[in-house]
Amino acid sequence: MTRREKILTGVTGALAAVGLSLLLAKKAYLDPLARWEAQRISWANERTKLKRDNARTQNRASSLRGLAGRTFDSDELRADAKIAAAILALVERAGLSPEKLSVQPVRGSQVRGAYRELGRIIRVRGGLKSIVDFLFLLDAEPHLHRLDQLTVTPVLKSNEVDVQVRYVTPVIDLKDAEKVPTDQIAETAPAGLLDSPGRKLFEPIASRDLFRPYIKRPAAPAPSPPTVARINKRPNPTPHRTPASPTSRFKVVGLPDWSDSQEVIVADSSSRQVRSYKPGDTLGGGVIEMVDYRPMPSKANPMIFSPSRVILKVGPDYFAVELGENLTDKRRMSGEMLPEAIRPAPASAPADRGPETPLADSGKDLSNADSVKKTPAGER
């Protein structure tokens, strides 16, 4: 073997030894280190997940304690008794007679290990205003509850209505339910106030009296038989009668808001036709400026709030016709009563325009027909 072959053989052996050493070192040290690092990362991810689940569980437990405080009781029998007492108290607060109250126990949905629903089917009779008070108080009752299956039926030949509604509330169903406090709002959160602003929003339901029985229009009087004029007798002059306003038969029956447009629905009591108008159309001797949906005191009773009205512009003045009123019942709106969108800017010095002419004497047909010529005062 030559010297060169010996050198190549030695180098090859050395490289093989180094490679074998590296392979043994990888199996002995590097592979276990890689496995340990992967296990460490897996444990860290699992630890983060457990922390997140633990925080979520604590939040749910805190939320559960808050919700449990708004339930009647964790015991089904005690909760059932408290529900009956609460309903009876609301009936008396609304001014209804307990003798006209009928309740029937009912069960709602159930989630095993979480909660089950108890409640009552309530049926009570009374005046429409008292019924609205009762429904408002029942809805504002601070315990967790759900109302459904509401029906309101008028009682024939009376001013009362019969209401039926289902009231259900949850009862927690947990192993440690006795440790969770319940009914923590009985003394701190009264079940609504009848003089609160929220109750006033319910007032149009009672004021409009939707169940008022239909009253048939009285028949026209029969014509009197003709009389024979006597000689040398001057016939009695026909008494002068003021003609009815041409707009007295037009009534605003609807003011819907379609989000992108407003609509004014007017009914003609003589022809029984219903027409629809939009802002910019002519109506009532003026032009429809807009529909105002702000709750405002009623003209007839300031204690009752009117939900909406149509605003007409007649010359420089603005007039409002409330929902359910005839066009002849319109009232003039001052600057501070107008919505901000059409409220005129205050003038520095008011101009003297002289006395205003009442709208009733304008002689215009408010039903969009041709104008009626005004009779001079000297020819009446």
pLDDT per residue over 99-138, tens digit each? 889 999 998 888 887 788 999 999 999 988 888 889 898 8
Q: Which range, 29-33, 80-84, 359-363, has the best average confidence (pLDDT)?
A: 80-84
Helix (H, G, I), strand (E, B) or coil at 344: coil
What is the average pLDDT across 274-279?
88
> Which residue has tokens 């590097």?
30
Burial annotation 341-370 (CB, 10 A radius, 16+ → b, else e):
eeeeeeeeeeeeeeeeeebeebebebbbee
Lowest mean pLDDT among 17-26, 76-85, 138-147: 17-26
How far is 296 from 306, CA to CA, in rounded Å? 5
pLDDT in tens, 296-346: 888 777 788 888 889 998 878 888 888 888 888 888 888 888 888 888 776
Mean pLDDT over the full length of the chain? 77
- Give the start-to-end residue ranges of the domains of the chain: 76-193, 250-344+364-372
Model confidence at 243: pLDDT above 80: no
Q: Which range, 223-237, 238-252, 268-282, 351-365, has the best average confidence (pLDDT)?
A: 268-282
Q: What is the CATH number of domain 76-193?
A: 3.30.70.60
Query: What confidence category does residue 363 fall into, taking pLDDT thresholds of 50, 70 and 90?
Result: very low
